Structure 1
Amino acid sequence: MPDNNKQTYEDKFEVIDNEIRKRYYKWHLHALAWLDFDDVSQIIRAHIYNKWDQWDQSRPIEPWVNKIISNQLKNILRNNYSNFARPCVSCKHNQSKEQAAGQVSNLCSLTSSGLQSDECPDYAKWYKTRKQAYDIKIPVSLETNDFDRHTSPEDHYKIDKAVNHMHLKMRQYLNDRHYIIYKMLFIDYIDEELVAKVLGYKSNEKGRKAGYKQIKNLKNFYKKIAKRICLETDIFFE
């Protein structure tokens, strides 16, 4: 039988909420616009609720709750920032830990340039494996030129233009019959079953659509040609 004397999460909600709010000024990750302390509080409350049966109710709740809060704050910080942050943040060569007004924010005593860069093996590894994830997590300031420095015209592709280039190239590589079929499938987007009927394809397999194998083989053929074109030409910038 359930113990009716046991206290529920709702019974201790005010105590829990008070302990969480005490940590408000310890949350310093304000760079994430989509995750503020209210969101963090909700995550912690949900975690405490899910772990409620682990509280030994013969003991005060505050130490148990505070241990969970501390662990969750560390986990949230790790998952949303530390895993993606530059290694420079905790590096002994970082000269910008206590940044003064107007000071460059990426100074380094290790590199010859005096700046945090891929001269450092740790930075180079981070740039290669985690930089993109970091950029997604942390918004770029509108007051800096970081976006301009880290992008170039080559980063932006006109997909429609590239598709048209591919169609033109396919016309050069295919004979008339193969191009007509290609056009029906990939330009006019005609249903495969209808294309098979137009071409007079049939199927001897029970439950298979007419021309199933022939259409599949043709698509694989076109795929190989397209790969060859991509290797030989740059369809994005022709």
Structure 2
Amino acid sequence: MPKRKLKYEDCVDLIDLEIAKRRGKWNLKVIKWMDFDDVSQILRFHIFKKWHLYDQSKPLQPWLNRTISNQIKNLIRNNYGNYAKPCLKCAASEHEDMCSIYGTQNSACPLFRNWEKGKKNAYNTKLPVSLDVHIIEFKSKQSEELNFEKAFEQITEKIQPLLKPTEKKVFQYIFIEKLTEEQAAKKLGYRTKEKTKSPGYKQVKTILKCISVKARKLLDDDEIVF
């Protein structure tokens, strides 16, 4: 007799236990509109939606841990990063609002200027003053904890069955062989009639967008372990 598949409802106690383990680590209390009880509800709903992705031939806890961890990272990114000024992610950013390119972090920078026009008001209205410090702390911890090389290896392996033959070639040329888009287009034999564009510019851009969508789906489905 085949083994009965576990349902989400069968594992509620274990799910709650795994979520509760994160309570002590949720130190991002500057988000005034979201406490850990809210986070717990979001995590439960996320696990419920992703339940069909759980491979029941494998232990549940590792899958739960990965799913919970990835969703917490998404929550931090979405609630912190969406309103923050671009300087926090910029390599030119220096201490005390200084910039190695423009001297200070100001509207002379087009990225900063766009942020001022669009997201600054939301940033000032919705987020506490101490947000910048927390983002920097989070990014520092994130870079220490996440294994991007391992994640890329997984993406490379898992995305292959999803790619069409031409997409596989572009993936190989751009992400493995580190060719430029123009070099990849030439290897594929693409041409263009536009004098201002490199050969195959549009074709390669379109293919890269398709690859990006498929890679994003792997990430959203928690298929990649960082």
Task: State the TM-score, normalized to the length of structure 2.
Answer: 0.48
Query: Which is greater in Rg?
Result: 1
Task: State the TM-score, normalized to the length of structure 1.
Answer: 0.46
Q: Which has the higher helix share?
A: 2
